[in-house]
Amino acid sequence: MRTVYLNGDYLPETEAKVSIFDRGFLMADGVYEVTSVLDGKLIDFAGHAVRLERSLSELDMRSPISMDDLLEVHRELVRLNEIEEGMVYLQITRGAPNDRDFAYPPAETEPTIVLFTQNKPGLANSPAALKGMKVISIPDARWGRRDIKTVQLLYPSMGKMMAKAAGCDDAWMVEDGAVTEGTSNNAYIVKGNTIITRQLSNDILHGITRAAVLRFAKEAQMKVEERAFTIAEAQEADEAFITSASTFVMPVVEIDGTALGDGTPGPVAARLREIYLEESRKTAV
Ligand code: PMP
């Protein structure tokens, strides 16, 4: 049984209980982060901590823990649960006042903090990376502050189910004719030596993996264009891929039934995955 962390305590997962009045449960009034673990170490923890603080501050939510202590809790859970490859999930909500109300509860209300590990042996050597993913496009029906990493994930869940129903792996969301991002990842296309991905704004989550991959791409002399692209442009690209903390770099081989190139993962995505894994293992903590 997993050991999880709840409000200062390490507990068996079946003993960790949250109030029915918790704002995360009633209103999706909470933020989260997912940090991957390779070789028993945390990948890009500092990036996730910075984004967490920004998400909290955009929602006028206070953190119940310092970022230094948060790192220690991550490490302790990885140790207690003997995670070599997997993820640590972290969620902070505005806490549990003693009733339901749209207005935020008094500032002294204690936030709720939960962390748990997910054991995923073989995460880095995923067979999906060799096969590539098939995606469909769907309208982006999410709210307008996608830069805040909230637990309001119903539409992304619906998108994954739409993809499954179509025999595909994920959905790319489209707004005003252009791709925003995948349901739980950032989206890219490749043309020649150029990597194209949507520019940062409130329309997408500012992926921690995205920042690292673009940095590595530039270091490897690839060209990076941060701009919007359409599904039609993507279908004519040489390659496509996604990034996220839990999938790293994952090739996309088909979009709305159109195969990219010869329908197999391309060399740029494969190379970026390799560089990302290699470089991020070096700075893991
Ligand atoms: N966009 C969305 C909508 C996501 O949910 C995620 C992953 N949580 C990402 C992008 C990728 O972000 P990261 O690389 O920080 O995991």
What does the pLDDT read at residue 250? 98
Report the alpha-carbon distance of residue 105 to residue 72 in Å, rounded: 29
Instruction: Determine the pLDDT at residue 151.
Output: 98
CB neighbours (10 Å) of residue 193?
Answer: 12
| Residue 153 vs residues 28, 45, 157, 159: alpha-carbon distances, Å | 9, 22, 6, 10
Please report the pLDDT score of residue 105 as a whole number. Answer: 96
140 C-beta closer than 6 A to ligand 1: no
Confidence grade of residue 46 (pLDDT, cut at 50, 70, 90)? very high
Task: From the CA of 245, give the closest atom in ligand 1.
Answer: 16
Output the CA 64–ligand 1 centroid distance in Å.
Answer: 23
pLDDT in tens, 135-187: 999 999 999 999 999 999 999 999 999 999 999 999 999 999 999 999 999 99
Distances in Å between the Cα of 210 and the Cα atoms of 91, 99, 101, 248 are 21, 40, 37, 9
pLDDT of residue 192: 95
134 lines ligand 1 (CB under 6 A): no
CA 199, CA 196: separation in Å to the nearest integer?
Answer: 9
pLDDT (0 to 100) of residue 184 = 98
For the entire predicted model, the pTM comes to 0.97
Mean of per-residue pLDDT scores for the chain: 97
- As a whole-number percent, the residues of the chain with pLDDT over 90 amount to 99
Q: Supply the pLDDT for residue 120.
A: 97
Three-state SS for 26-64 is HHCCEEEEEEEEECCEECCHHHHHHHHHHHHHHCCCCCC
**The pair of three-digit structure tokens given for residue 167, joined into one six-digit string:** 């025999």
pLDDT at residue 168, as a whole number: 98
pLDDT digits (tens, 9 = 90+) for 233-285: 999 999 999 999 999 999 999 999 999 989 999 999 999 999 999 999 999 99
Is 247's C-beta closer than 6 angstroms to any atom of ligand 1? no
Return the active site residues.
149
Q: What is the largest CA-CA distance in the chain?
A: 58
